Structure 1
Amino acid sequence: MSEIEPTRRLVLASTSPYRLQLLRRLGLAFHVSAPQGEEIIDQGIAPELLVRHLAVQKARSLKDKYPDALIIGADQVFVDARGHVLGKPGTFERAEEQLRLMSGKTHMFYTGLCVFDSQTGEIAADYSTYRVRLKNLTREQIHQYVRRENPVDCAGSFKVEGLGIALMERLEGDDYTTLIGLPLIKLVEMLEHFGISVL
């Protein structure tokens, strides 16, 4: 698929290779830049507010670097069956621990999305959810999965677009790209709001 040069510069405020791959599906030319600032997960904030805030924060962090652009920010947290907000595990050990706690239970992913017009200051922001139920997994299955897939940079400790699908019993939601980290259905709507037509 050939890329279309949009009427405004598009910037993805993310270092995530998964978000990069998803945004490429829309066939629009865009730049990628690492967002500035520290990502802090506050357990006292409702997850839908937290991910929306983090997505806005990421997009706005690049306003000085890109003063005339539409900047896309996204962030994701995972809420386990106990109601705890979890981020990326960071290590094999923490990934295995997260998966042991998740085994046989239903959990929710929240993905925040923002498109920020750095020229006018206008912000479009929202969030999407996706529900997942994991199979009853043995310690050995979890260990093998983590060693093979290395999901330490993924909220929930799995990559559903890869071998992580083998952990699943059921997936429920309106847009599966929410689970991967960039809800494309909402993003297309937001870009249209700013005058960027994907089609």
Structure 2
Amino acid sequence: MNNETPIKLILASSSIYRRELLSRLHIPFISISPNIDESTLQKESPEETALRLAISKAKHVSESNPGYTVIGSDQVCSCKGRHIGKSGSFDNAKKQLQLISGEKVLFISAISITNGIDTLSSVVITECKFRILNDATIDYYLQKEEPYDTAGSVKMEKLGITLVEHIKGDDPTSILGLPLIKLTDFLIKFNIISM
């Protein structure tokens, strides 16, 4: 990878998790919160929601930062056909974890990258099978992690991994909210990374 010249790259996110993931690529970047409405639209599939929001974040930040390449990302969790977003509270998180106990859950991570002219976007899906979780396990996990700012209330990079029986997917970073394999493909096409 060639990082000799400064790169004008923006991560359209306030997520510390996404910042940590992107920093693994050793590319200079800044983060700007996109400040968009992240509500789900009626009759929208989880894949459609994640993709629409990733594109909206990238384009929104790109419009006010010409000359930069902007990365937008969003993750939606889906179980039994239901959208599961960020819980925001202990009680909501407990309900989410009770819902996904013993179930297969899809974590849908979408990314979009734009330079204001060209845009590339993709959805990466990871399937997780959760263990059967009793209330004591759920309460302990929530008290330790307070995962109220993550889709499905599951922090896979921390104690959340103990709640899972197995994971199926093509990109181990996708479950964390920023699929670095697909993102690297896009960064190569935008000449941000040279291989």
Amino acid at match of 2:175: L
1:5-28 CA deviation, whole Å, 9 max, x = no partner?
A: 656410000000000000000000
2:94 to 93, 96, 99: 96
State how 1:3-152 maps to structure 2 within 5 Å. Answer: 4=3, 8-80=7-79, 82-118=80-116, 121-152=117-148
Amino acid at match of 1:175: D
Uncovered stretches (5+) of structure 1, i.e. residues with no partner:
none
2:189 maps to 193
Q: CA separation in 2, counterparts of 1:97 and 1:52?
A: 26
**Equivalent pair of 2:7/2:29 in contact (CA under 8 Å):** no
Q: CA separation in 1, counterparts of 2:84 and 2:132?
A: 20
**Equivalent pair of 2:6/2:28 in contact (CA under 8 Å):** no
Q: CA separation in 1, counterparts of 2:194 and 2:12?
A: 19
Q: CA separation in 2, counterparts of 1:66 and 1:186?
A: 23
Uncovered stretches (5+) of structure 2, i.e. residues with no partner:
none
Amino acid at match of 1:76: Q
Report SS of the residue matched to 1:93.
Answer: helix
Per the TM alignment, residue 86 of structure 1 is displaced from its structure 2 partner at its CA by 1.3
1:167 to 154, 163, 169: 163
1:137-181 CA deviation, whole Å, 9 max, x = no partner?
A: 110100110010010001011111101111111111010111110
**Equivalent pair of 1:27/1:198 in contact (CA under 8 Å):** no
Q: CA separation in 2, counterparts of 1:185 and 1:34?
A: 23
Q: CA separation in 1, counterparts of 2:126 and 2:67?
A: 33
Q: CA separation in 1, counterparts of 2:48 and 2:86?
A: 18
Runs of 4+ in 1 over 6 A off after TM superposition: none
